[in-house]
Structure 1
Amino acid sequence: METNQKKASVILSSYNAKDRLFLALSSYKHQDFPKEQFEVIVVDDGSKDETFKLIDQIDIDFSLKYIRHPNNLGRACARNSGIAEASGEVIIFSDSDMIAEPTFISKHVLHHEKNNEIFVGGSFWNKIDQRYNEQKGEYTPPITPEEIMHEKFFDASTKQPFAQHYERYLNQYGSNLNGFEFPWMYFIVMNCSVKSKHVKQIGLFDEQFQRRYGGEDEEMGYRLWKGGLKGIVDPSIKNHHQEHKRFGNQGSDSNQSINYIIQKHQDLNPIMYYHIHFVDLIEKSRLLQDIQRAIQEKVVSLSFEQNCLNEFLLYSQGITTRTSSSYYLKKDIRRLQIKKQYRQLVFFLHQLIFSNKKWRRS
């Protein structure tokens, strides 16, 4: 390894988060990974809170690079700037409001040393909420860098409400997510990693997301997975969120991002994940596998996948008008009915075409 090349590059994007960034950076002073083998890259995406003064004054003992955008360009642009400056073999994504446990870097790197063709998701659903005042939007008293040196600080963290969503499928499929069709949903930039060469092979974050909230990380995870990488989840790699006030219309932004992902990829998988709401995610995974199995066994017509996609798109857009694809898909449904093992797929497709009623497994 060249002297100027690091084993890992940690990329933190930051926007008007100087105080939270201070604690985030402080946590990298306590990593159990060799200091000379990692770097932290802070991308200041047009902050107005004098983040640059923090960078000048902070006392650190690891390699720190600072990139400043004169204007706020959005998360995708910020992270791409970080990737462009990264020298690490492994790129680890975090955020300015996340406090990393001491094993954060070493556990990410270890996975990539064991397997060359993976991306890794850690636990991003932990939060530091003791002493957090919702009305004031601040910690009382403030968290100090000294506190994060002690294990009891992390032991006192709790889980975000959305943790159950991610832990359920991890419990069902295991850390290797074998048999799960949506491993890319764990590629969340608060705590994930991938080798630099793989990012460059599939392309950087899509800057068309611009300043909308969310989606650019899952979309990259989807491309990594479609490009042949396996998704691994290790919940013992913990990053802890510093609670703070939320800004902007995140719900509306998220919906726009989802629609953009679907329009960009025109694929069954993301539509099933984001827009088919009457089926449980475990069933969604099985149904996608059944669709591919029916195609491989040549039980259905050559246009089966495209006809399914057309129906998925109609459903996601709330369009009830039937098309020629509906006619041909119904013919394939009859073929599937003959093969009795496809009963769940038949029932699902029937419901997709004919009603919006909640689908239940019989």
Structure 2
Amino acid sequence: MNPAASIVVPTRGGAKRLPVLLRALSLQDTDDFEVVVVVDGDIDGTARLLDSWSDRLPLRTIVFPENLGRSAALNAGADLASGEILIRSDDDLEPGFGFVRGHIAHHSHATGPIGVVGLTTNHYPDTPFARAYGRAADRRFIRDALRLPEHSTWRLWAANVSVSKIIHRNLGGYDSRYRRYGWEDVDFGYRLHAAGVRVVVAPDLMAIHHGASTTTAVRTVRALHSGSARETFVGIHGTQALPEPSAGGGAWGLIVGAGARFATTRTLRAYGAAVDTIAPFVPIKLAEKLIALGVESAGLAGAQRPERASEDF
């Protein structure tokens, strides 16, 4: 008998991250699920780690011989999955005991086909970035996400989501054209919305995110890459799907726009390191502004000059 749900986990270089997720999944309050982990090119012994968990979880593994991208990994996992509900979980999440049961319940109780978004809350070490910016930005994101009108919730499709296997197949899965950092998830959410599938935010499915953005340098460089990946989305769906980013008005907008002109991977790493060095010694509001300047300038630079961040992921 097939399980109710399949948890699809794409991973690359996840040998140190995965044990937290796998431990959380082994403690779920239901056993009506399987875990499908897709290793997108094994660069750190992830396959060996997964073998050591095979007697503790209903675990199946796919190992790509090389890096094919997150979309390819998600689609391969969905193709192998035997559950009716596909739950996407990134490899750096720590879900609660009712994670699987909750995702299944939202689909079972819905009056029609839906996509379900469980939000994530970041777990930060005690860094200057976390104290001055990260934790407050996290709280604002969750607050704003819970207030989004339903016609905009598709933008939240990300690391902790679920959809029926039938809908996933009908949409053609995740788009393999997304090889930069992110946006394959936003694209999938947009196509759900365009197909008339309601995207429901479920506060009860919050998961802890043990992410890599723990310093200003890492966060700004990721903002640059995310802004760059937006080019693929606009090339497919046009600017009518999502407004063009801008620096905004006023003095702050001018400063962000000026920062975007100079934002590259090299300059952002240097800027981030400098900000994290001085952040403990300046008023926290000033530190927050300096970090926000880097993040917003980087995102705008990526969107306006996507060639500055062209690496594949």
Judge conservation of contact 2:145–2:156 (CA < 8 Å) in 1.
Answer: no
- Structure 1 match to 2:209: 241
Higher helix share: 2
Tell me the SS of whatever aligns to 2:140. Answer: helix
Q: Is residue 98 from structure 1 mapped to residue 74 from structure 2 by the alignment?
A: no
CA distance in 2 between counterparts of 1:208 and 1:53 reads 30
Q: Aligned partners of 1:59 and 1:206: how far apart in 2? A: 30
Partner of 2:174: helix, strand, or coil? coil
Q: How much has 1:209 moved relative to structure 2?
A: 0.9
CA contact (8 A) 1:42 1:65 kept: yes
CA contact (8 A) 2:9 2:88 kept: yes
Distance in 1 between the 2:233 and 2:36 partners? 27
**RMSD, matched Cα:** 2.6
Corresponding residue number in structure 2 for 1:149: none
CA distance in 1, matches of 2:304, 2:24: 45
What's the counterpart of residue 70 of structure 2?
75
Aligned to 1:61: 56
Tell me if structure 2 keeps the 8 A contact 1:213–1:254. Answer: yes
Instruction: Evaluate the alpha carbon distance shift between residue 83 and residue 44 of structure 1 in structure 2; reply closer, same or farther with a 3 A threshold.
Output: same
Residues 317, 161 of structure 1: CA spacing in aligned structure 2 closer, same or farther, 3 A cutoff? closer
Residue 255 (structure 2) pairs with residue 258 (structure 1): no
- Cα 1:317–1:160 change in 2 (3 A) is closer
Bigger relative contact order (CA 8 A; separation at least 6): 2
Match of 2:7 in 1: 10
Contact 2:6–2:35 (CA under 8 A) maintained in structure 1? yes
Q: Is the 8 A contact 1:191 1:239 kept in 2?
A: yes
Unaligned runs of 5+ in 1: 136-157, 280-315, 319-362
Equivalent in the alignment of 2:137: 161
User: 3-state DSSP class of the match of 1:18?
Assistant: coil
Equivalent position amino acid for 2:73 in 1: A
Q: Which residue is equivalent to 2:174? A: 205
Q: What are the superposed Cα offsets for residues 100-129 of structure 1, whole Å, 9 maximum, x if unpaired?
A: 1101111111110012311011121x1233
Give the one of 26, 30, 37 matched to 2:27.
30
Amino acid across the alignment from 1:29: S
Alpha-carbon separation, structure 1, partners of 2:148 and 2:188: 24
Change (3 A) 1:57 1:247: farther
Distance 1:240 1:256, change over 3 A: same
**Post-superposition offset of 1:67:** 0.6
Partner of 2:117: 121
What is the CA-CA distance between 1:165 and the residue it aligns to? 3.0
Cα gap change, 1:57/1:186 in structure 2, threshold over 3 Å: closer, same or farther? same
The percent of aligned pairs where both chains have the same amino acid is 27
| Structure 1 stretches of 4+ moved >4 Å | 245-249, 276-279
Deviations 1:140-187 (A, max 9, x none): xxxxxxxxxxxxxxxxxx9572441342252364xxx3xxx3221111
User: Partners in 2 of 1:28 and 1:166 — Cα distance?
Assistant: 23
The match for 1:216 among 184, 193, 199 is 184
When Rg is computed on C-alpha atoms for both structures, the one with the higher figure is: 1
> TM-score, normalization: structure 2?
0.70
Equivalent residues, number: 242
Map 1:1-362; keep pairs closer than 5 Å.
3=1, 5-33=2-30, 35=31, 37-58=32-53, 60-115=55-110, 116-124=112-120, 126-129=121-124, 132=125, 161-171=137-147, 173=149, 177=150, 181-188=151-158, 190-210=159-179, 212-244=180-212, 246=218, 249-266=221-238, 268-270=240-242, 272=243, 274-275=244-245, 278=248
Instruction: State the secondary structure of the residue aligned to 1:208.
Output: coil
Shift of 1:61: 3.4
Counterpart code for 2:10: S
Q: Secondary structure at the match of 1:224?
A: helix
What is the rounded CA distance, in whole Å, between the counterparts of 2:211 and 2:172 in structure 1?
32
Distance in 1 separating the partners of 2:211 and 2:136: 10
Alpha-carbon offset, residue 277 of structure 1: 6.5
State the secondary structure of the residue aligned to 2:82.
Answer: coil
Instruction: Quote the offset at 1:70 in angstroms.
Output: 1.2
The question of whether the paired residues in 1 share the 8 Å contact of 2:183 and 2:226 is answered with yes
Could you say which residue in structure 1 is the equivalent of 2:274?
Answer: none
Amino acid at match of 1:111: H
Partners of 2:119 and 2:142 within 8 A in 1: no
Paired residues of 2:122 and 2:138 also in contact (CA < 8 A): no
